[in-house]
Amino acid sequence: MVPSTVREFASIKAIKLPTLPGIAIKIIEVMQRESPNRKEIAEIISCDPSLSAKILQTVNSPYYGLPTKIGEINQAMAFIGLNAVKNLALGFSLIKSFQLKKRVSFDYGQFWKDSLIGAVAAKAIADRVNRHLADDAFFLGLLQNIGSLIMAESFPEKYGTVISRMKAESISLHQAEYDEFGFDHSEVGENSSKYWGLPDSISLPIGLHHCPERIESTSGEIECRGKILCLSSLYIDIFKIKKSEDPCPLIDGLINKYGYSELLDKTAIVEKIGEGTKLIFPIFEIAVDERKHIQIIETAKNELSKLSTSLIEQIHIQEKSLQTLKNQVVRDSMTELYNHEHFLQLLREEVERATRYKTPLSLILADIDHFKLVNDFYGHLAGDFVLKYIALNLQSLSRESDHIARYGGEEFAIILPSTPLDGAQLFGERLRKAISSTKINYNGKSIGITMSFGIVSLENNLRPDVEGLIKMADEALYEAKNSGRNKCCCYQGIIPDHALHSVLVIDDEEALLITVTKMLSRLGFDARSAKNGQEAIDHFSIHHEKIDTVLLDIVMPGMSTKEIIKTIRKIRPETRVLLASGLGVDQIEKDLIKESDGFLSKPFLMSELSQEIAKNQKKSYLKSKIEKGKRVSTAS
């Protein structure tokens, strides 16, 4: 609960709550609309030459590492996203509105230096914890301590006392503020950001960035933002020469508490901040003492590394038990083959590898024929013995690179990397013959066993997803069972080939349009492009093109996104529509998301786009199979 003194804060003129610059106000007003106009925001920013220059200087710096030089704000939005440029504009205009000066004990230059460290730290952490929050994280990191600046402006003498007490007693800044005022900079920052019209996703994390677990929100994403800010504030302290307390143990403890230990390398974050600030500081004419900078980074890395030493010793002691535990997680307890869950993980990895390097990959599903009879005639212990025997045989006949798993019950799965269909078929036959020609001796009884095998292969540019691949192998296994058992059958269905899959990219930014269509073409898609809604509709209505998937930017000139989708659906209902935007999905009209078949947040990876297209491709393929089946049924 926010204290009443803070709630009244915004209405008391003596507090001198700052007004945002006109450009920032205009940007926020446009962003509050249901469908923000990217060109309008670009024009607003371009009206301030110094702000535009600062943004372009940042975007073109090694900090973003873009492959080509950006010359316009609109072009910057296309490459790093509307959200990222908007946040840079708001952040820089805010810095500009507070002149760098020194009043009483408040060092404005040091404040903005710390704020930029916080921004770089927050983005570095978000890049690893939740990449889609990285753009907002930079702005949040920059703004997290803005309340201190506002308090220093409003109460210069009293705030001078806060600074003096903090240094003399080695207490935290927010504790010294609370003792003096009854509220601290984080509460002032939250109320200020609300006063400026910023959303809860910005104001709430600022208000509770020293205790994010207290955020009362149904959105886990907002709590995640608060945790990112909390960690970034501690990394700010690392780069201070004088500290009230060593932040390293706090960082180590919070990373474990938040469950980020596998996502965040503490020392790597320090290096990332060091590299980032060296690139960002010169843009704001902040001098970097190279020797001190390196010394701070090395000291922090050493301190954070020391914290891990005792843990490493414990890990060595427990290594054997940890390996046993790991095996229990990934292995089937009876056969000691990989279990079903780990098989799925391995298959995902192998499909990704085969797709990336364009190498063949085969999958075999195998089932023991009439296994129920073994249990019925010889008992369940005999059935368990048979399962173990089969597992040992499959392992002995396979290569080291093959992955063998117990898929479930009496069913097994074998992943064959770098193996085409003919090789998988030969291997399957060898397994079948070896199993059928051997008698299993159990308690003086001879048990004859046969197996059926279903085989599918990824080759010749055919790339279904993991679920589709398993389904194909299962269909082939069903065919082997249905045609007499003790057989190897290969999948005979038609696998959709994405080389024949057509994609229409609709975006008014020419540079992005060219880049995306070129990459799609290289990946084997039939890629086409349109600069506006009408040009896109012409592909359907005038040229009568068969478009399988549309990638549509959410903000288009001339024709609304809803109108474009509605027209496409009317002309060709089976076309799948993916939306793309620099805005977060929570900032977009819900009805618009419902009308689409997927959403990508800019800037997106080509792998993310390929995966979305593959999902839609599978849906279209399955739908066509169902419709074909209906036609055959009707004809008969």
Distances (CA, A) of 571 to 163, 325, 536: 67, 57, 12
What per-residue confidence (pLDDT) applies to 10?
Answer: 42
Q: Which amino acid is at 167?
A: K
Local confidence band at 510 (pLDDT 50, 70, 90 cut-offs): confident
Name the domain boundary from 281, 312, 343.
312
- The answer to whether the beta carbons of residues 256 and 146 sit under 8 Å apart is no
What per-residue confidence (pLDDT) applies to 622?
Answer: 55
In a domain, 635, yes or no: no
Contacts of residue 337, defined as CB under 8 A and 6 or more positions apart, other chains included, come to 331, 391, 394, 395, 404, 405, 406, 412
User: CATH number of the domain that 362 lies in?
Assistant: 3.30.70.270
139 in the same domain as 285: yes
In terms of Cβ atoms closer than 10 Å to its own Cβ (0-12, 13-18, 19+), residue 444 is exposed
109 in the same domain as 88: no
More confident residue, 219 or 502: 502
- The answer to whether the beta carbons of residues 143 and 18 sit under 8 Å apart is no
Q: Which amino acid is at 406?
A: R
Asked whether residue 473 carries a pLDDT value surpassing 80, the answer given is: yes
The whole-angstrom separation of Cα 476 and Cα 470 is 10
- Predicted confidence (pLDDT) per residue in 278-312, tens digit: 887 887 766 655 555 455 445 544 555 554 554 44
User: CATH number of the domain that 548 lies in?
Assistant: 3.40.50.2300
300 in the same domain as 430: no
Strand, helix or coil for residue 459: coil
285 in the same domain as 163: yes
User: CATH number of the domain that 140 lies in?
Assistant: 1.10.3210.10
92 in the same domain as 139: no
208 in the same domain as 230: yes
Domain housing 84: 19-97
Name the domain boundary from 253, 284, 312.
312
- Residue 417: closest CA among 406, 399, 430, 402: 402
Local confidence band at 210 (pLDDT 50, 70, 90 cut-offs): confident
260 in the same domain as 381: no
What per-residue confidence (pLDDT) applies to 460?
Answer: 52
Name the domain boundary from 266, 282, 312.
312
In a domain, 9, yes or no: no
In terms of Cβ atoms closer than 10 Å to its own Cβ (0-12, 13-18, 19+), residue 283 is middle
Local confidence band at 343 (pLDDT 50, 70, 90 cut-offs): very high
334 in the same domain as 204: no
Strands 576-581 and 599-601: parallel
143 in the same domain as 252: yes
- Predicted confidence (pLDDT) per residue in 600-631, tens digit: 888 877 667 877 887 766 666 555 555 555 54
What per-residue confidence (pLDDT) applies to 615?
Answer: 73
The whole-angstrom separation of Cα 527 and Cα 122 is 37
371 in the same domain as 306: no
In a domain, 318, yes or no: no
